[in-house]
Structure 1
Amino acid sequence: MAEMSALSRKLIQNMAETLSKQVKHFNKTETECLIRLFNTLLGEKTESKATHGLDRGKFRNILHSTFGLTDDMIMDRVFRTFDKDNDSSLSVKEWIEGLAVFLRGTLDEKIKFCFVVYDLNGDGYISREEMFHMLKNSLIKQLTEEDPDEGIKDLVEIVLKKMDYDHDSRISFSDFSNAVRDENLLLEAFGPCLPDLKSIQAFEQHAFQDTSRT
């Protein structure tokens, strides 16, 4: 058993060595901690293989309980944004690459991340319909009007006026990027899809708590 544990430790260290060179924002020790956390979430007994992926359900639980995201549609889109090869589960590399942007991304990286989350059909634009859908989802609880749809349609027009720089009635990546650079608060204009500072600190404290001992 001790041999197995030493072997699995070595495998994790080797994997961390490789991944920390490929992924920005985490050093080798932090990467190792994230691999261990990934294995724990998977329920791996030996910690030796991180070949199985993290499924949507487990990942959504983390988004909800650890990072406070509540919108089902947005959580689903965050999962898809992490899941680069689109195989409905997260590999350890996708997990670490995704968290690098999610927790410590530069403004550029976060703009790209949020745009991909909000571009529901992946066509490179956020359309009026997509805006309506997301805003309705995130605001419906707060609206008390008889016909909330009208209020949301008005809001879509306001957002378009502010973010549609080339006036083609939809938001391209370039529009989104320019708008967010002019006004950072627009980064999560269509619903929270990034963790707040408090959640990030709590997660990192938990995930990296044993780094001082390594």
Structure 2
Amino acid sequence: MSHMSSVNAKNLQKLADSIVKHVKHFNNTEVLCLIKLFNVLMGEQSEHRVGNGLDRGKFRNILHNTFGMTDDMIMDRVFRAFDKDNDSNVSVKEWIEGLSVFLRGTLDEKIKYCFEVYDLNGDGYISREEMFHMLKNSLIKQPTEEDPDEGIKDLVEITLKKMDHDHDSRLSYADFEKAVKEENLLLEAFGACLPDAKSILAFERQAFQDTTEN
């Protein structure tokens, strides 16, 4: 990046310094790399609208191509989890703060993030209906004799039995957290919304590749 004007480099560094204060899991150099990557991705956005961030389409492409996500509903929810201010763009700050949890989050951070993704209407609970929607969406349609909806309803009931500690037929955050802490595999019970280890490694290797050289 030697062709970058020093003014531009200074501004980038300033931006990195301001962002690094808010993210737990990246150092200054990594933040700088993620800003550069963000700018590259922004440059690829076809229509240069007023929005100063990655739009839903662009963001979903990243989730799909880089992290292997395929479920439209979940990708949409991940976009919303990243887009904290709900302006339909993921700003550079939202991008880096989101990735911090997405790639390197603690269990607590990931529980909070997954719950947010799964709470489709944002009322603080994952309801039977929400579970049904997500599971119906994420399970591969198997050609069977029986009505697939019945199987999913059963799955919802099994999940509730396992996770609904206060027995109010819906999952509060406390229910979800307790269940996941007892059994980590339940973290992504309603659909894959976090990247697997392999794609994290690939993404980080690519994003941070020039950190060793300079």
TM-score (norm 2): 0.93
Q: Which residue of 1 aligns with 2:180?
A: 180
Inter-partner Cα distance in structure 1 for 2:74 and 2:145: 24
Partner secondary structure for residue 158 of structure 1? helix
Q: Which residue of 2 aligns with 1:25?
A: 25
Q: Post-superposition shift, 1:4?
A: 6.2
Aligned CA RMSD, in angstroms, stands at 1.5
Residue 199 (1) aligns with residue 203 (2): no
Inter-partner Cα distance in structure 1 for 2:70 and 2:4: 40
Inter-partner Cα distance in structure 2 for 1:33 and 1:186: 33
CA contact (8 A) 1:77 1:117 kept: yes
Q: Post-superposition shift, 1:94?
A: 0.3
Partner secondary structure for residue 126 of structure 1? strand
Q: Which residue of 1 aligns with 2:81?
A: 81
Q: Post-superposition shift, 1:174?
A: 0.2
Runs of 4+ in 1 over 3 A off after TM superposition: none
Structure 2: which 5+ runs fail to align?
45-50
Partner secondary structure for residue 168 of structure 2? coil
Which digits, 9 at most, give the CA deviation of each residue in 1:27-85, with x for residues without a partner?
000000000000000008xxxxxx81110000000000000110000000000000000
Q: Post-superposition shift, 1:5?
A: 2.3
Q: Post-superposition shift, 1:148?
A: 0.2
Q: Post-superposition shift, 1:108?
A: 0.0
- State the identity %: 76
Q: Which residue of 1 aligns with 2:58?
A: 58
CA contact (8 A) 1:64 1:70 kept: yes
Q: Which residue of 2 aligns with 1:146?
A: 146
Inter-partner Cα distance in structure 1 for 2:132 and 2:152: 6
Q: Which residue of 2 aligns with 1:135?
A: 135
Inter-partner Cα distance in structure 2 for 1:143 and 1:161: 27
CA contact (8 A) 1:140 1:148 kept: no
Partner secondary structure for residue 21 of structure 2? helix
Q: Structure 1 residues 3, 132: closer, same or farther in 2, change over 3 A?
A: closer
Return the letter of the residue paired with 1:191.
G
Q: Which residue of 1 aligns with 2:190?
A: 190
Inter-partner Cα distance in structure 2 for 1:128 and 1:16: 42
Q: Structure 1 residues 196, 143: closer, same or farther in 2, change over 3 A?
A: farther
Which digits, 9 at most, give the CA deviation of each residue in 1:101-147, with x for residues without a partner?
00000000000000000000000000000000000001142463431
Q: Which residue of 1 aligns with 2:213?
A: 213
CA contact (8 A) 1:120 1:130 kept: yes
Inter-partner Cα distance in structure 2 for 1:70 and 1:209: 27
Return the letter of the residue paired with 1:135.
L
Structure 1: which 5+ runs fail to align?
45-50
CA contact (8 A) 1:20 1:27 kept: yes
**How many residue pairs end up in the alignment?**
207
TM-score (norm 1): 0.93
Q: Which residue of 2 aligns with 1:160?
A: 160
